[in-house]
Amino acid sequence: MKSTNLFQNSWRTILMICISFLSISNTLCAWDKISMCGFPEDGSGNDAVNKMVGRRNTIYIGTESNGVYSFNTTNTETGCWTAWNTGLPSGAKVSDMTITSEGYVYVIIDGEIYYRKQTATTWTNTNFKTTQGGNATAIHAVKNTIYTAIDWFYLFKANQGSSTFNFIDPGPNGVYPQYRVNSLNSVWQPGDEIDHYDLLICTDGGDYDNDGLEANESGLFTRNVGADGNSGNADITSNYFNGRVHRAETLTGSKVYVIKKVLYFPDYIPAEVWYKSYTPPGSWQLAVGKPVTADGIDEISDIENDANNTKLFYCYGNVEYGFSATPVDDCWIWKFPVGTPLNEVHTNTCSDIPLTPEADYNFRDLLFHGAKIYGGTNGGGVWYSAANSERLAEESDDFESGEIEIYPNPTSEFISIELNVSEYADAAIYNLNGSLIKQMSLTDNVNIINVTDMPEGIYLIAINYNDRLMTRKFQVIK
């Protein structure tokens, strides 16, 4: 039976939360470096990190020339990186990477797709290139379904743990992209007639006819893939973005942001951020644009939102064409406050990681995992924010009423987490300084967590289930 003392001592709880928020409000993005023990090296030093994924207490990096490495995040200071390459080609360059809800990791290496479950000892080659007759260019998991594209824009999907990829038809009212797919992402869309995931398809289309943009020439497309990530309607829909899209992300489910690739001879460089309302009507507007200078042009390498879906971060890299031996910018991460998308604000102390001018450690990829944001660099290892307390300072709920329940609150001995969902979930408990206290998997209908070893105070529990997040504060009393 649930406790009848829910939110007992509410005034005391509110007071303690307010005091805690005042004391930690400026601690976001105090960057620390993950241990370099066992970190892969290339011929000139530390290898570059092209892509990162995470699940439970492990993050995985796909590197430029050393395949895949894993790291247990419970020991960031003294832990060691572990090679995770059995079954992969020697010197593998990982161009893209994803992970399913049940822990299958997929990578693209030289256009080929490999997968491996977290508990497995070797990778499986899907032979995608041979069976589909093209190189895979992007890969993304929506729950337990894998989506990918080949280099002349066809889309395919497969169930996790399977080497069979099936062609995705654009649908009777849909359109098919006519240009290379650069990346894939997904967004949970609650509140419609039927809650569902949308697949975001970023392509090189959209910049060939500025006056009359055709649907299939757009740089961005979406497809409803259902609440299970594998169904929904079959129509692929154009978002009519006039430009090449490097990556896309959404904010609070109401706006979509894209990194646009602009021509800087002889290449197209991802250097602008554009946005519009996620659902029509709405027109695209420029949010961030970096001017071309004598030193070159800044590259925006990645864009991510936090798991609470309230802040959007993007990171600058460097592009130099012989104009200057000094990097144009180092590694900046910014946020867009909700409601003011044109007024970009530098996050509190979220500035450059401490580097020397000759060490070009620009970020290549960002990952929100647990309560931290991780940045994979171009030769400088992996960095993380010591206390992402801005995220922890806000409760959020991506779940329907009754799917997950937490009780009692306050408590002195245990908390119960009741799951009314079809698959297991992960949970983590943090203090209000952002420090991880406990981490566990939720595999039963009712899961009991002992808190007798935790000091009295306010804590936050974060429950992650299929890319959806619930965060709740609770109080431990003695």
Residue-level pLDDT at 32: 78
* pLDDT, tens digit (0-9, with 9 covering 90-100), for 215-255: 778 899 999 998 888 987 678 988 888 889 999 988 766 78
Residue-level pLDDT at 318: 55
Residue-level pLDDT at 305: 74
Residue-level pLDDT at 285: 87
Smallest Cα–Cα separation from 82: which of 66, 100, 97? 66
Considering only residues 285 and 207, tell me which one the structure prediction assigns the higher pLDDT.
285
Residue-level pLDDT at 393: 44
What does DSSP assign to residue 378?
B
Over the chain, what is the mean pLDDT? 77
* pLDDT, tens digit (0-9, with 9 covering 90-100), for 343-364: 555 443 444 444 433 345 577 8
| Banded pLDDT at 30 (limits 50, 70, 90) | low
* pLDDT, tens digit (0-9, with 9 covering 90-100), for 99-137: 998 899 999 999 999 999 999 999 999 999 999 999 999
| Banded pLDDT at 296 (limits 50, 70, 90) | low
Most confident region among 47-56, 296-305, 322-331 by mean pLDDT: 47-56
| Banded pLDDT at 49 (limits 50, 70, 90) | very high
Hey, which bits of 342-467 come out as E strands?
Answer: 345-346, 363-369, 372-377, 382-385, 396-397, 404-407, 414-419, 425-431, 436-442, 446-450, 457-465
Q: Which residues contact 161 (CB under 8 A, 6 or more apart)?
A: 104, 115, 117
Residue-level pLDDT at 19: 29
CB-based contact 465:472 (threshold 8 Å):
no
For 152, other C-beta atoms within 10 Å of its C-beta total 14
Whether residue 97 has pLDDT greater than 90: yes
CB-based contact 374:49 (threshold 8 Å):
no
* pLDDT, tens digit (0-9, with 9 covering 90-100), for 388-413: 444 444 454 445 556 788 888 888 88
Most confident region among 2-6, 170-174, 381-385, 430-434 by mean pLDDT: 170-174
Residue-level pLDDT at 252: 62
Mapped onto helix, strand or coil, the DSSP state of residue 277 is strand
The radius of gyration of the chain from alpha carbons, rounded to an integer in Å, stands at 22
b/e string for 69-100 if b means 16 or more Cβ within 10 A? bbbebeebeeeebeebbeebeeebbbbbbbbb
| Banded pLDDT at 162 (limits 50, 70, 90) | very high
Considering only residues 331 and 73, tell me which one the structure prediction assigns the higher pLDDT.
73
Considering only residues 427 and 351, tell me which one the structure prediction assigns the higher pLDDT.
427
Whether residue 301 has pLDDT greater than 90: no
Cα 313–250–312 angle (5° rounding)? 15
Domains in the chain with CATH codes: 10-22+398-476 (2.60.40.3080), 29-392 (2.130.10.10)
Cα 409–415–472 angle (5° rounding)? 60
Residue-level pLDDT at 471: 78
For 124, other C-beta atoms within 10 Å of its C-beta total 17
Gap between the Cα atoms of 33 and 289, Å rounded: 29
Whether residue 27 has pLDDT greater than 60: no
| Banded pLDDT at 307 (limits 50, 70, 90) | low
| Banded pLDDT at 8 (limits 50, 70, 90) | very low
CA distances from 14 to 18, 34, 104 (A): 6, 35, 41
